[in-house]
Chain A
């Protein structure tokens, strides 16, 4: 009897021990996967799995986001209730200001087009956009990303910029067939080449988790021109994001750190625009650099009669003055 008791206890312990093996094996597997995904969220070996799950989960996320949107639209956001009159006044002032800017922009656009024709400058690639709904949002504490309901089927590719009505939100990092994941500017993996207007400086804006993103410049660059409130826009360097998209403004210059207050606010964004564009990648390095040809080159003006006529008018006006 006693022997039997000892044997059954031994068997029970053995059974428990055997049950532990898969647990330990899976903990080791998790650790191995963590090490493999170490380089960054963008260069992960698990990208295909992410894309597949994103597509599979997209209908479920849309199912979840339906009632959530309905609740949000019925109750509105809390701050809207408290600031509706103030917001209305600010919006009217902003509309008036924007009308003025639109008029100036149209005039400048026309002048730029005219001068570009005369100088035969190659225009930057056209940027097309597609409107997308935010169907998901990474609610984890270590990643800042949103999921939108457009993907490969809508000609979205990795790197496309995503904006809301205020400015840049982030860029696409995972593309499924019908949905994509957008890495937000506040994420630790986000690094965006930017340009500070006023200071005329190029830098890199890095996400810093829950704190505003920080600006980094090449060592030795004179930062004396930087000031709080200067506009930060994308620089277009690196061939990822188009230049000139508003990002934010300089928030502070304390403790050798330069922080940026972002224009966009993903918590209050349900609809975004994905900018579809492609950088020219067919540069023939052996070709003669056409853009270096002098502007007053006669044969080229003849080749473009309209531009030649415009140049003649400008020249005449200049002579007359």
Chain B
């Protein structure tokens, strides 16, 4: 009985973790990190779990979860609602489309894929924001933030793989 219950809990936790990480990532974007007195941009943390699980376990990062993470990011940042939801969903669709190509490839290939996905999401966000404000917005803030996101992705990827491997060994 108790074993069954613990199995249910662990299954639920495993299923909810990717979305929870996405939500925490979206909220963390509003934390006052101020790297180098605001000179270094804060990475778009929510993109890490969205990319990782869209590639390696899309059933744990379905479209409604991606949408939810995007909406949380929009609401906490205070900007137009739907902006990051749209960007994340289109990036998610792109990853699903190219999923078979990236599965089983080396990490550098996956990292390049993440670069494309992050760049695509940033481009969509920039297009939408420029359309909303009625003029082309400066490109460099979103470009710097995307570069910071791409450069720091290996840390997340490495950590998650480490945790997954440990969990697999314990089981």
Interface range for A:
35 or more
Contact assessment for A136 and B31 in the assembled complex, using a CB-CB cutoff below 8 Å = yes
Establish whether residues A137 and B32, one from each chain, have CB atoms under 8 Å apart when the complex forms: yes
Identify whether the interface residues of B are mostly helix, strand, loop, or mixed.
helix
Which chain A positions have C-beta within 8 A of B137? 142, 188, 209
Query: Given the complex of chains A and B, what is the CA–CA distance between A188 and B132 in angstroms?
Result: 11
- Taking CB atoms, residues of chain B closer than 8 Å to A37 are 80-82
- Do B64 and A22 touch (CB < 8 A)? yes
* Interchain CB contact (< 8 A) of A53 among B70, B72, B126, B129: B72
Q: How far is the CA of A88 from the CA of B32 in the complex (A)?
A: 26
What is the count of residue pairs linking A and B with beta-carbon distances less than 8 angstroms?
A: 154
A173 surroundings in chain B (CB, below 8 A) = 78
Contact partners of B31 in chain A: CB under 8 A: 61, 64-65, 68, 136-137, 139
* B-to-A contact residues, CB < 8 Å: 24, 27-34, 36-38, 41-42, 62-64, 66-67, 70-73, 75-86, 89-90, 92-93, 125-126, 128-129, 132-133, 137-138, 140-142, 145
Residues in A lying within 8 Å of B, measured CB to CB: 22-23, 26-27, 29-34, 36-38, 41, 44, 46, 49-50, 53-54, 57, 60-61, 64-65, 68, 72, 77-79, 134-143, 145-147, 173-174, 181, 183, 188, 209-211, 267-268, 270
For the complex of A and B, 3 pairs with smallest distance between CB atoms: A33-B82, A267-B38, A64-B31
Contact sample, A vs B, 21 pairs, CB 8 Å cutoff? A23-B92, A26-B64, A33-B82, A34-B81, A34-B86, A38-B80, A41-B80, A64-B28, A64-B32, A78-B36, A136-B30, A138-B76, A138-B77, A140-B73, A141-B126, A141-B141, A142-B79, A142-B142, A143-B77, A209-B138, A268-B37
